[in-house]
C-alpha cells in the first residue's frame, strides 16, 4: 500500500481497529510532529488516512494538539476530503445526549492557537463563511438517519479553549446566543483544512448538556463524557465507514481547492498561480515532487 490517501478521518483509535491491512506511517511536517502516526487503510476501494487527534492514548489535551501539523500531514498524504467527528456538549434542550449534530457553522472562543498556514511571505485571506462542505454534510445526514440515529441537520459549534469546561454563566451565554453545540477541537482544525483546499465535514456526538442549559443539571465530568462517547463509538465508526463508501468518486468536484482562488493578499489576487504557488511549496517540502 502506497503512503497516500484521498480521504482523511480525525478521531479516536477505534476506527482503524475495524479494518484489515492497516499500515502505520509517520509523517514529518514543517510545523512539528502530528498527534500520532497515520493509519492507512482501504475502505470500499477508497484510500483512507486515520489520525487520533489526541494521540492513541489520549495524551494531548485540546489546547496542545498540533492542529497545523495534523492537517498539513493529511494534505501531504494526498487527502482531498476530511471527516472530523468529535465529542461535544449540548447547548439546547432539544439536542439531547446520544444525538448527532452535523454542524454547518462554528464560533471561535479559543485563544493563542496557531490557526493559519499563511504567516508570510505568502499572504492569503480564506473565507470561513461556509467552512463545512454542503455535499459531505448531505451524505452524513443521510447515512446517520439510515442508521436510526437522531440527527440535527444544522448546528453552530462554539469552540472553547479547554481543558476546563464552561462555567454556568458562560454556558448560559452560549445557549442564549442560539448556538447548539460546544466542543474544544473544531477550531482551528476545520478552518485549517479549508486553508489547504480540503473539503471537511463535522459530526458532533452529543455526550451531555452543558452546565447552564438545564436548571438543576449536575456539572459535567470527563467521566460522564467518556461514558456516553464510548456508547456511541460503534455507531460513529459505522457511520464514517459508510460515508466513505458514498463519497464522490471525483473529490475535486466538491470545489474545496477551487475555493482558494483569488484569496491572495499580496497584489496577485488575479494570478493564475494563486493556488499553485503554495501547493507547490507544500509538495516540495513533503518530497512529493
Strand pairing category for 81-90 and 181-183: antiparallel
DSSP 8-state assignment for residue 248: -
First to last CA, the chain: 19
Query: Contact at 8 Å (CB) between 82 and 74?
Result: yes
Residues 6+ apart with CB under 8 A from 96: 90, 150, 206
Give the integer Cα–Cα distance in Å for 181 and 200: 17
- Among 115, 176, 210, 224, the active-site one is 210
Q: Cα–Cα distances in Å, from 125 out to 257, 263, 266, 268?
A: 14, 5, 10, 12
Ramachandran angles phi, psi of 201, nearest 5°:
-135, 140
φ, ψ for residue 60 (rounded to 5)? -110, 115
Q: What ranges in 22-133 are assigned the alpha helix state H?
A: 67-76
Q: Which of 36, 104, 133, 208 is catalytic?
A: 208
208 is annotated as an active-site residue: yes
Instruction: Tell me the C-alpha distance between 116 and 126, whole Å.
Output: 10
Q: Do 115 and 186 contact (CB within 8 A), yes or no?
A: no
Between the CA of residue 76 and those of 24, 135, 156, what are the distances in Å?
15, 23, 29
Question: Rounded to an integer, what distance in angstroms lies between the CA atom of residue 279 and that of residue 289?
Answer: 11
Note if 108 is an active site residue.
Answer: no
**C-alpha–C-alpha distance, residues 5 and 114, integer Å:** 25
Active-site amino acid positions: 208, 210
Amino acid at each position: 500500500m502506497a503512503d497516500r490517501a484521498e480521504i482523511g478521518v480525525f478521531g479516536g483509535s477505534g476506527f482503524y481497529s475495524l479494518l484489515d491491512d492497516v499500515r502505520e506511517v509517520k509523517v514529518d511536517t514543517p510545523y512539528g510532529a502530528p498527534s500520532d502516526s497515520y493509519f492507512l487503510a482501504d475502505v470500499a476501494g477508497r484510500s483512507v488516512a486515520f489520525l487520533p487527534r489526541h494521540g492513541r492514548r489520549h495524551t494531548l489535551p485540546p489546547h496542545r494538539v498540533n492542529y497545523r501539523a495534523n492537517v498539513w500531514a493529511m494534505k501531504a498524504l494526498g487527502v482531498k476530503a476530511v471527516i472530523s467527528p468529535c465529542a461535544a456538549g449540548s447547548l439546547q434542550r432539544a439536542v439531547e445526549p446520544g444525538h448527532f449534530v452535523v454542524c454547518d457553522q462554528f464560533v471561535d472562543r479559543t485563544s493563542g492557537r496557531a490557526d493559519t498556514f499563511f504567516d508570510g511571505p505568502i499572504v492569503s485571506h480564506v473565507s470561513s463563511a461556509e467552512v463545512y462542505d454542503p455535499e459531505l454534510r448531505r451524505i452524513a445526514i443521510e447515512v446517520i438517519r439510515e442508521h436510526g440515529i437522531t440527527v440535527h441537520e444544522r448546528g453552530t459549534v462554539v469552540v472553547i479553549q479547554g481543558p476546563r469546561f464552561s462555567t454556568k454563566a458562560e454556558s448560559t451565554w452560549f445557549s442564549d446566543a442560539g448556538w447548539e453545540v460546544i466542543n474544544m477541537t473544531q477550531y482551528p482544525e476545520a478552518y485549517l483544512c479549508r486553508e489547504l483546499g480540503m473539503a471537511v465535514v463535522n459530526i458532533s456526538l452529543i455526550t451531555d448538556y452543558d452546565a447552564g442549559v438545564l436548571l438543576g443539571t449536575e456539572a459535567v465530568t470527563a467521566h460522564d463524557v467518556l461514558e456516553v462517547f464510548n456508547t456511541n463509538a460503534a455507531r460513529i465508526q459505522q457511520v464514517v465507514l459508510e460515508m466513505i463508501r458514498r463519497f464522490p468518486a471525483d473529490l475535486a468536484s466538491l470545489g474545496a481547492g477551487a475555493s482558494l482562488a483569488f484569496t491572495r493578499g499580496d497584489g496577485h489576487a488575479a494570478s493564475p498561480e494563486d493556488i499553485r504557488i503554495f501547493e507547490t511549496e507544500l509538495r516540495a517540502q513533503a518530497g512529493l515532487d
